[in-house]
Structure 1
Amino acid sequence: MTKVDRRILKTQEALKTAVIKLMAEKNFDDITIQDLSDQANVSRGTIYLHYMDKYDLLDKLIENHINELQERCEAAADLDFVTGSLIWTEYFESNYDFFSMMLASKGAPFFRNRFLEFLIEEFKDEVDNTKGKNEGLNKDLVVRFVASSYVGVVEWWFTNKRPITHQVLAEQLGALLDRICE
């Protein structure tokens, strides 16, 4: 893998931080390239060296977080649901600004849908509808129910400004997943 110049990484990080900060102030559709340029303290041309437009910037930001969640999911593959949920909730906590902007403010509905689709893929292998409490139920329906519930609870957590700790959130999500998925 080739090493990326630190200046490029610094510029990209400044732009990602700028878009999140600006989304806290206004609707994403109202953010201009000039707003991003001013907030990140880079030229408009610099933005276009890294991204096609503001939508490309947002898409790359979302993909970075989804990819990180995917890596954490793979690392937790052999763990129980509580421990696996703790890995995710720690990530949510450490990236609070991003996730609260994407979920609590309704600033980017695309993210919610992308997160839901990601969770549907992740939970497909966790649901068994051939025996036990899910026997006879439509697998796609159960998977969608679990993924939608997970997104809804995480949204609730951000919308209500973390009414419980991320550890308690993980414990309770893990316990619920144990009841539904195993």
Structure 2
Amino acid sequence: MPKVDRRILKSQAAIKKAVVELMSEKSFDDITIKDICDRADLSRKTFYLRYIDKYDLLDKLIEEHLNELRELCEIELEMELDYIEGYQIWFEFFEKNYLFFSTMIVSKGAPTFRNRFLEFIIEEVKGEVNTAEGINIGLNEEVFVQFFSSAFVGLVEWWFKNGMPVPPRVMAEQVGLLFERNL
């Protein structure tokens, strides 16, 4: 794999940081390429070398964070973590990336993030559901998956909107126990 120039990585990081900061201040629709370039202290040419437009930037930024979550899921599987340990990794990741997640979830200018995040959670929950036996016998699997996925996304949304009032470890314990009881 060819080595990527550090200047390219630095400019991409500056652009990503700039758009997230701007989204925490105003609607995505009101953000211009000029705003992003000014905040990142880069030229428009540099921006257009990396991205087609601001929507391409947003799409790549969202995909980058969802891919990191996918990687965390793979690590959880390899390490055979229980729900609480797994969710602690997630909530620590959310906390570490607070500006991104809080901005994406709270921002009305990026509804695509919430939809893609929900789709991601649905895929993760599907693998955990068992409606053939136990307390969930006879439940419609799709209803069950939608219910728990929507609940999880809503809980994460609540957590960010309220400034993370509960530490990641406590969130992990609470969510883990809820999932253990119901899955």
Please give the TM-score of this superposition, normalised by the length of structure 2. 0.97
The answer on whether the counterparts of 2:27 and 2:108 sit within 8 Å (CA) in structure 1 is: no
CA distance in 1, matches of 2:151, 2:40: 36
Q: Name whichever of 39-48 and 1-10 sits farther off.
A: 1-10
CA distance in 2, matches of 1:111, 1:179: 29
**1:30-57 CA distances to partner (integer Å, 9 max, x unpaired)?**
1001001100000011100000000000
**1:153-182 CA distances to partner (integer Å, 9 max, x unpaired)?**
00000000011111111110111111111x
CA distance in 2, matches of 1:107, 1:74: 31
Which residue pairs with 1:15 in the alignment? 15
Which residue pairs with 2:153 in the alignment? 151
Q: Name the amino acid aligned to 2:105.
A: L
The answer on whether the counterparts of 1:85 and 1:174 sit within 8 Å (CA) in structure 2 is: yes
The answer on whether the counterparts of 1:101 and 1:107 sit within 8 Å (CA) in structure 2 is: no
Which residue pairs with 2:37 in the alignment? 37
Q: Name whichever of 84-93 and 99-108 sits farther off.
A: 99-108
Q: Which residues of 2 match residues 113-132 of structure 1 at below 5 A? A: 113-132=115-134
Please give the TM-score of this superposition, normalised by the length of structure 1. 0.97
Q: Name the amino acid aligned to 2:32.
A: T
Q: Extract unaligned runs of 5+ from structure 2.
A: none
CA distance in 2, matches of 1:179, 1:48: 50
CA distance in 1, matches of 2:145, 2:159: 21
SS at match of 1:120: helix
1:28 aligns with 2:28: yes
The answer on whether the counterparts of 2:29 and 2:109 sit within 8 Å (CA) in structure 1 is: no
Moved over 6 A (4+): none
The answer on whether the counterparts of 1:105 and 1:159 sit within 8 Å (CA) in structure 2 is: no
Q: Name the amino acid aligned to 1:87.
A: I
> Percent identity over the alignment?
60
How much is the aligned-residue C-alpha RMSD, in angstroms?
0.8
Which residue pairs with 1:54 in the alignment? 54
SS at match of 1:76: helix
Which residue pairs with 1:135 in the alignment? 137
The answer on whether the counterparts of 1:90 and 1:166 sit within 8 Å (CA) in structure 2 is: yes
The answer on whether the counterparts of 2:15 and 2:36 sit within 8 Å (CA) in structure 1 is: yes
CA distance in 2, matches of 1:25, 1:6: 29
CA distance in 1, matches of 2:129, 2:110: 29
1:4 deviates by 1.3
The answer on whether the counterparts of 1:104 and 1:155 sit within 8 Å (CA) in structure 2 is: yes
Q: Name the amino acid aligned to 1:136.
A: G
Q: Extract unaligned runs of 5+ from structure 1.
A: none
Q: Name the amino acid aligned to 1:51.
A: Y
